[in-house]
Amino acid sequence: MDLVLGIDGGGTGCLAAVATPAGDVLGRGRGGPANIRTDLSGSRENIVVAARLAFVDAGLDPTLFNSTDAVLGLAGANVGDYKQRLEAILPFRSSDVENDSLISLEGALGNHDGAIAALGTGTVYLSRRGSRLHALGGWGFQIGDLGSGARIGRDLLQETLLVHDGIRAGSPLAELVLDRFGRNPGDMVEFTTAAKPGDYGAFAPMVFEHAAKGDTVAKRIADRAVADVEETLAVFDLGPSERLCLLGGLSKLYAPLLSQRYRAIMHPPLQDALGGAVQMAVKKFGKAGGGHG
């Protein structure tokens, strides 16, 4: 039986879908984290678990995945040699490991030209015109990811300390953050010692919420974040016939704040990233790609 697998993996977990060569999904499975840059061997095991569960969900023998072709969109595949190292140890018949932004774009745009802006804890952008891809960002909030939840949260803590020191004027949001840390800046500094991107990102929704109420500190941060997103999108120079899809946990908060130029070409994604992985597998290995002889 010829089948294809699509897999979407990131730092919080991975999803797998087994489908016919025509792209009809038969079953789905879920596994643990699959960021191959931070844990290659663990990611491999979690991917296998998700794939096995997808076959079980489809009522199929899970050992069939040894004769199944897979496209995997995984966090961490865009740096180093992690992609090649993982492909060498996966149990599937053929494995094509891509960065997770590529399957997101495939799912969101289908066959249309345009771009995605993945706006969540991190940020990454990818455009496609015909077969030409152009990726931007995704470098991590310490030195990149402008407009991301992690960067917004970090900026909020920075602004709050400036308020505490009397360098900048305060606001209700800054007072809330000071209260959150017992009005002790030392505790805020301690928080940053072990804080992960998601810990910073947890502050981002309240920034947008207070910015809508006119909070000066929140508005300063939100305006800067929107400007950062638009500055990045400008590199793509999207035309009126192209599509822009906003993805990620902050997408609904950003959508009404972008300028008319971008709102006019904004479309909801056609499918999610897992659907994109399945469609890529179909194009490469399935009916559209000719399959295996």
d(CA 241, CA 76): 32
Asked if 145 and 55 sit in the same domain, the reply is no
Predicted confidence at residue 291, as pLDDT, reads: 55
Say if 292 falls within a structural domain. Answer: no
Asked if 173 and 149 sit in the same domain, the reply is yes
d(CA 93, CA 252): 39
Asked if 146 and 219 sit in the same domain, the reply is yes
What's the predicted TM-score (pTM) here?
Answer: 0.86
The pLDDT tens digits for 82-133 are: 999 999 999 999 999 998 899 999 999 999 999 999 999 889 999 999 999 9
Predicted confidence at residue 177, as pLDDT, reads: 98
Predicted confidence at residue 293, as pLDDT, reads: 40
Question: Which runs of consecutive H residues, i.e. helices, occur in the chain?
Answer: 40-57, 82-89, 100-109, 149-164, 172-180, 185-194, 197-201, 204-212, 216-236, 251-254, 260-263, 273-285
Residues of the chain under the 70 pLDDT cut: 1, 287-293
DSSP for 124-190, written as a single string = EEEEEETTEEEEEE-S-TTT--TTSHHHHHHHHHHHHHHHHTTSS---HHHHHHHHHTTT-HHHHHH
d(CA 90, CA 38): 17
Asked if 248 and 147 sit in the same domain, the reply is yes
The crossing angle, in degrees rounded to 10, of helices 149-164 and 185-194 is 160
Q: Print the domain residue range for 59.
A: 4-110+271-285
Asked if 106 and 198 sit in the same domain, the reply is no
Asked if 126 and 202 sit in the same domain, the reply is yes
